[in-house]
Amino acid sequence: MSLHGKVAVVTGSGRGLGLAYAQELARQGASVVINDVDAATADAAVKSITDAGGAAVAVVAPVGPTETAEQLVQTAVDTFGRLDILVTNAGVLRDTVLWKMSDDDFDTVIGVHLRGTFTCVRAAATYMRANEIAGRIICIGSPTGQRGNFGQTNYAAAKAGIVGMVRTWALELKKAGITANAVIPVAATAMTATVPYFAAAVEADEKGEPMPAFFRHDLGFGTSDDVAGLIAFLASDAASGVSGQAIGIGGDRLQLWSHPEAVATAYREGGWTYDALVEGFGDAVGELQSVGEKFPPLPEDLQR
């Protein structure tokens, strides 16, 4: 079930999670197209793979425009002869509360995450269908897209939209044998490094030490490498029956996220008027759904 002979494109793979994904795909035998906006970063990522005996090439371009998506696909085909796997990881952050978020803050994040995922998947799926390749589309979501997070209107919208698109693509691409899934990673990144709650875990990771069990087990929070195995699995023939899913992973934890389903249903003859809702809304729907992620208190020995 190895990836030998397969070719993958990984967007935003110069560093961090994206680099871990690319390196694991190469470790399992795939040839990889690295993507980053910085040439030195992209070249270093390629070197990390080729020095380990793998095959990789870089495309230095911003994700979002159709031209970049088409360049990524064409580079895979021109360099390695085909394209089997696409991992859409590229992203940026412009965090601020709603009333301070500018048009540019919103458009930049949506452009890279949501539009970039769309254009890259469209280009890859078009090639795969035309060449009868039962390919693998793996899109990167976030707990923020599943639950919401303070100060991340743009990012939450983009990540929720990505999961919605994945469910649609799983339906549209099924006949072609192409799978589409979303991965919801929880790992030490540049973003989590700024959150005091994760300080002990990030410090351990930076020192090359094992993260405390509280983070790895209780929170499902780990390293980039902890996520990479799922990417390689979903890219393989072993996962040919997995599609349209949102799968969480981090530390020692693997999760399958549910699709949105109605949790309460009530009927009223004649319909639900304003007065009827004022009087009976609470009884009709029961307990309301929570929003945002909720973390347990840190053990005293892990507080910073």
d(CA 43, CA 176): 34
Residue 16, class by beta-carbon neighbours within 10 Å (0-12 exposed, 13-18 middle, 19+ buried)?
middle
Q: Which residues are catalytic?
A: 142, 155, 159
d(CA 111, CA 113): 6
What is the secondary structure of 73-109 as a DSSP string? HHHHHHHHS---EEEE-------B-GGG--HHHHHHH
End-to-end CA distance of the chain: 44
d(CA 232, CA 241): 15
On whether the CB atoms of residues 59 and 18 are closer than 8 A, the answer is no
d(CA 267, CA 274): 14
